[in-house]
Every structure is written in structure tokens, then in C-alpha cells.
């Protein structure tokens, strides 16, 4: 089922739109992990959530994840949001992100991501979000 951004926003009033990752390949991979139930967490640099940047997620809020072309892919609901230094992220959270099989793998991949997107510091603050998928526009309700 194909749905427009306007129709998705009408279905989920107040929802923000966002894209996972910083490339088509990463976006596709992360959406597939969410759809498979493997990815139930995500994080971003706190600096991205400053005034004029992305709105910080709020528990209970539902947001629309877009594919790389800007089409609605799925809807997630934030379950918990916290702030944590990069160096303090634990294995449980890293594994919930679903992208790597170890904390070391998570750290290496996320360090590279942050270096590509504004800079990396081991003590940089992250916004860490736990979520669940509510609807998959490619496959129907969950």
C-alpha cells in the first residue's frame, strides 16, 4: 500500500517525519531491521535536537519514518527517551539498535556515522530512544 506524507500525517496528527541513516543503503537496511522486529532503539547526537533542529522524541509520540525517496515507510511509537554519553552506551541498548552483534561493533559503526555527520567525541551526548513499530505502510498494521 502506498500512502502520501499528507495522508500519513492526517492518520497520525502531530507526527514528525524522519529518515533513518545518512544514505539510501543505510536507510533501507535500518527500515528492514525495524520491520523484522530486530531494531527497537535508535539514537542521535544531542546537538541535532537544538532549537531549529529536529524535535526531541517524547514517550508516547508516534512518528513517520520515510524511505530515502521521502515516502512514508512505517510509523514508530516512542516508548522511552533518555540522554547518555556515547562512551556510556551499554550493550543492551547497542544490541536493541539491531545493527551490530556487539557493543564494539555498535561503537565503531556509530563513531563513523557521527564523524560523517557533524563530528565525534567519546563523551558526546546522545538522545537514546526505545520504540515499537505501529504500522508498516509497505505491509499493513502491526
Q: The CATH number of the domain where 13 resides is what?
A: 3.10.400.10
Q: How distant is the alpha carbon of residue 100 from its chain centre?
A: 15
pTM for the model: 0.91
Give the pLDDT of residue 1: 54
Residue 100 has pLDDT above 90, yes or no: no
Name the nearest CA neighbour of 72 among 142, 141, 3, 1: 3
φ, ψ for residue 6, nearest 5 deg: -60, -40
Q: Output the pLDDT for position 51.
A: 82
Q: How many domains does one find in the chain?
A: 1
Q: Residue 123's domain spans which residues?
A: 5-141
43 against 52, higher pLDDT: 43
CA distance 7 to 50: 28
CA dist., res. 89 & res. 93, Å (int): 7
Q: Is 100 in contact with 54 (CB distance < 8 Å)? A: no
pLDDT, tens digit, 9 for 90 and up, residues 107-131: 999 999 999 999 999 999 999 999 9
Amino acid at each position: 500500500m502506498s500512502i502520501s506524507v499528507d495522508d500519513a500525517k492526517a492518520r497520525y496528527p502531530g507526527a514528525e517525519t524522519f529518515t533513518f541513516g545518512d544514505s539510501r543503503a543505510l536507510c533501507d537496511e535500518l527500515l528492514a531491521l525495524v520491520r523484522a522486529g530486530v531494531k527497537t532503539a535508535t539514537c542521535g547526537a544531542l546537538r541535532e535536537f537544538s532549537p531549529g533542529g529536529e524535535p526531541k522524541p517524547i514517550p508516547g509520540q508516534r512518528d513517520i519514518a520515510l524511505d530515502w525517496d521521502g515516502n512514508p515507510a512505517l510509523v514508530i511509537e516512542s516508548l522511552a527517551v533518555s540522554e547518555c554519553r556515547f562512551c556510556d552506551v551499554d550493550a543492551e541498548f547497542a544490541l536493541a539498535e539491531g545493527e551490530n552483534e556487539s557493543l564494539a561493533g555498535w561503537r565503531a559503526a556509530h563513531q563513523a556515522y557521527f564523524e560523517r555527520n557533524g563530528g565525534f567525541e567519546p563523551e558526546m551526548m546522545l538522545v537514546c530512544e526505545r520504540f515499537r513499530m505501529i504500522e508498516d505502510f509497505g505491509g499493513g498494521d502491526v
